[in-house]
Amino acid sequence: MESKWAVFSYILISGVYFKQMRLNKFESAGSEPLGEGDEKKVFVDPKNETRVISERKDAAGKDTPRQLKGRYYLGKIAHALLPGHIPDIYQAGESVDGKQTVDIERIPHSAGQALLQKLRRASQNEEPAREKLEEERLAMRGLDDDLEKIGFGFALDQNAGNYTKDEAGSTYYLETFKPWRADDVDPKELEVLFDEEALREAIDELPDEKARDECFQHLERLLALLGEEKKDTKELQENRESSLLDCKPGIEKFEATIAPFLEEQVLASLHEITSYKTVAEILSNEERNRAKEARDLVFSQLKFLQEKTNITAEDYKALYEKYMTIRRAVGVLNGGIVDHTR
Ligand SMILES: Nc1ncnc2c1ncn2[C@@H]1O[C@H](COP(=O)(O)OP(=O)(O)OP(=O)(O)O)[C@@H](O)[C@H]1O
Ligand SMILES: [Mg+2]
C-alpha cells in the first residue's frame, strides 16, 4: 500500500528545484523526536539513519519558499567552508500538508546535548544539561568566531542547545541559516542575514576548485532569490499602500460616534456605576447600554481605519486612547462589580 502514502512535495535537491514524489511520505506524527526546541522537532530519517529531518512547528511561522531555498544554499556553503563544524544539508521543502522540513546530516549528541534532550522530553529542569554543555563554552565561542569570519555573524543563535560535539571531539553548530527576514523599520525592505563579501572571500580561499565553483553557484542562486524577494516585497507593500482608502471620512465618523460619550458628565455618570445586584439590572441600564453600543461601534470603526485606510500610526494611537476611555467608562462586569480599570 505504498502508494497510499505517496504525496507530492516540492523539494530542492542539489540546487535543482522540482516536483518530487516522496514515496512513503515522512510522517512525523507518532514518532519520537531525537531532539526538540521551541521552533523545530528533529527526527532521525526513517530511511537513512545518518540523517535527520528537521520539521518546523506550525506555531514557529513559516519561511517563504525563497527563504527556504535560501536556507538550503547557505547550508551548503557553510558546510563546504566549515565541513567539520556545520552538518551537510540535503534538501529543504514543503509537503502538501504545509510542513516545512530540512534534511540534514545527523551529528552524534555530546553527553550534554543528550542529557538536555532527555530532560526536555521529561519536562524536567534543564539546568544540569546546560551546565554540562557550558563545559564546551570555549569551543562554541570559537566556532561562533569562525562563523562570523565567513559572514554568518548576524543571526547566530548561541543557545547552548544548538551545539554538539561528535566522537572525534569536533564542535558542531546545528542551526540552519535564515537568509533574510522582513525589515523591522521599513516593511518595503528586507534585512539580509549574511555578509556577501565575507562569504565571497571565504569561498575564494577554498582549495578545491569544484567545491569553490559549486559554492559560487549556490551564492549566485541565493542572490537571485534575494533580488526577486526584494522586488516582490517592495511591490506588495506599494500595492498595499496604494489600495488603502483615505482615512479622513473614517476618522470623522469615529469622532462623531464617540464625542457625546466623552463629555465629562457622561463619563462621570458611567464611572459611578460600580456595582450591581443582578445581571438583569445592569443589562437594563439604558445609559450604560447606549455607551456600550457606541463602544462596539467605534471599535469596528477603528479596525476598519487600521486595516483599510492610510491612517498614520500617530493618529491611530490618539483614536485608540479615546476608545479606551469609553471602554473603561462602560467597564467590564465581574462578580457583582463593574471593573473600570481594564
Ligand atoms: N543535525 C543534527 N543532528 C543531530 N541532532 C540534531 C541535529 N539538528 C538538531 N538536532 C537535535 O534537535 C534539537 C533541536 O534542534 P534545533 O536547534 O534545530 O531546534 P530549535 O527549535 O531551534 O531548538 P532550540 O530552541 O533549542 O534552539 C537539537 O538541540 C538537537 O538535539
Ligand atoms: Mg535551535
Q: What is the pLDDT of residues 171-215, one digit of tens each?
A: 999 999 999 999 988 888 999 999 999 999 999 999 999 999 999
Domain ranges of the chain: 2-241, 248-339
- CA dist., res. 277 & res. 329, Å (int): 19
Q: Is the beta carbon of 34 within 6 A of some atom in ligand 1? A: yes
Pairing of strands 35-36, 89-95: unpaired
> Which residues are found with C-beta within 5 Å of the ion, ligand 2?
37, 162, 175
Once rounded to an integer, what is the mean pLDDT over residues 220-240? 95
Cell of 53: 529531518
Selection from 292, 286, 182 nearest residue 229 by Cα: 182
248: number of Cβ within 10 Å: 11
pTM reported for the whole predicted model: 0.73
Mean pLDDT of 60-66: 94
Give the nearest ligand 1 atom to 40 CA.
21
pLDDT of residue 22: 39
- For 114-126, what is the mean pLDDT? 95
Does ligand 1 lie within 6 Å of residue 162's CB atom? yes
Q: How confident is the model at residue 12 (pLDDT cuts 50, 70, 90)?
A: low
Give 133-149 pLDDT, tens digit per residue.
Answer: 989 999 999 999 999 99
Query: pLDDT at position 14, please?
Result: 47
pLDDT, one tens digit per residue, over 83-98 is: 999 999 999 999 888 8
* Contact partners, residue 260, CB within 8 Å, separation at least 6: 266, 294
Give the ligand 1 atom nearest the CA of 105.
Answer: 1
Using a 6 Å cutoff on CB, does residue 102 contact ligand 1? Answer: no
pLDDT at 11: 53
- With 60 as the cut, is the pLDDT of residue 131 above it? yes
Residue 168 has pLDDT above 80, yes or no: yes
Question: How many Cβ atoms sit within 10 Å of the Cβ of residue 8?
Answer: 12
Per-residue pLDDT for 20 more than 80? no
| Atom 20 of ligand 1, residue of closest alpha carbon | 37
pLDDT of 96: 83
Is the confidence at residue 17, as pLDDT, over 50?
no
Residue 36 makes CB contacts below 8 A (sequence gap 6+) with 42, 117, 120, 121
For 227, the enclosing helix (H) or strand (E) is helix 209-242
Q: In the prediction, which pLDDT does 100 show? A: 95
